[in-house]
Structure 1
Amino acid sequence: MSVNIKVATLEDAQDILNIYAPYVQTTNITFEYDEPTLQEMTNRIKNTLERYPYLVAMVDQKVVGYAYASPFASRAAYQWGSELSIYLDAHYHGRAIGQKLYQSMLALLKAMHIQHVYACITHPNIKSEKFHETFDFTYIGCFHHAGFKFNQWHDVIWMEKTIGDEENVQPVIPFPSLSREQIESCLGLCYDK
């Protein structure tokens, strides 16, 4: 199986929505109640790419997963932190596609001079928690009854990973300002030929 990681385009919005919709409809992994419209998903991709990476995983020219980064918080002092999100087509779990998406994502964020990355995970979600542990994310806390979906309360946990050199903090480079060579190098880490 050949997996190709690429930067998402607006034309990928329908494929991304097809992956995301079942998570909204049938799980507490996302706290959205209603699946976004195609236009909403297109706007989310566009808005993310103005500052952060948004990646898709392709198998045989089909989008089978995606990951994106977003601000950890809005104040200026938080700019060196980024929250990560990842979703895979249910038929492609257990094939190391998530690992390839995260390898590329972490490499890109490091090139942008991001220092810390965070994951907010509905708890319990053993699969996601173990996945993040394989990338050396550590548990930092639980918000009890943080979300109410499907007529019950759900906890969320936060996990974090340091990817930068805290002794050498440099200005954050917005994703669109990375060179093509930098981006291709980061994506190339995960290209199976």
Structure 2
Amino acid sequence: MPTRTVIVLGGGIAGLASAVRLIQRGLKPIVLEKRPFLGGRAYSFIDRETGIEIDNGQHVFVGACKQFQKYIADIGVDDQVTLDDRVRFPVVKQDQISWLRGRKLPSALSNLSMLIGYRHIGITDKIRILWGLLSIKQTNLDIRYDQVTFYDWLKVHHQNEDTIKNFWNLIILPSLNDNINCVSAYTGISLFKVAFLGP
């Protein structure tokens, strides 16, 4: 019996992962992509002026991304990925660096210590953020949250432009490769529940 061919529309991460799964099941995928490169939002390009390779796309992924971890293992590049059990990255604001850095503590406590040590946000805004995190923890996910942006949800839950810019979007943008105004509340809440608040 000849191998069946399956057409996969789109060469983003989901399309490529689908193609790998089809191969694993003995099928022959044909990936159709309109761009001249694969990867969807995650890609690299050479800057014409400098000749430097620039990465675009998701720059971090969280431990909750189990299917993505399976995909990178399936294509044999999991040895090229570094997993860290703590959040740790520098944030530059007006030439001042402050680190968002978790400690070796249980997840919720680690992230609380990270917030306390973060210098780009004053005490009042830290309290706002704690209120937002508590609201996320108490929110039961429902499909209706797909109809509102995470930005709008945060505004309803007493977040201001400073907390959104200097905290919430700093997590959303590199994790989801999208601005907080374009991410659904469902997706934003899910990310913080799993990756930030922990079990």
Q: Same fold (TM over 0.5)?
A: no
Say which one has the larger Rg.
2
TM-score under structure 1 length normalisation: 0.25
- Structure number with greater CO (CA < 8 Å, separation at least 6) is 1
More strand by share: 1
TM-score under structure 2 length normalisation: 0.24
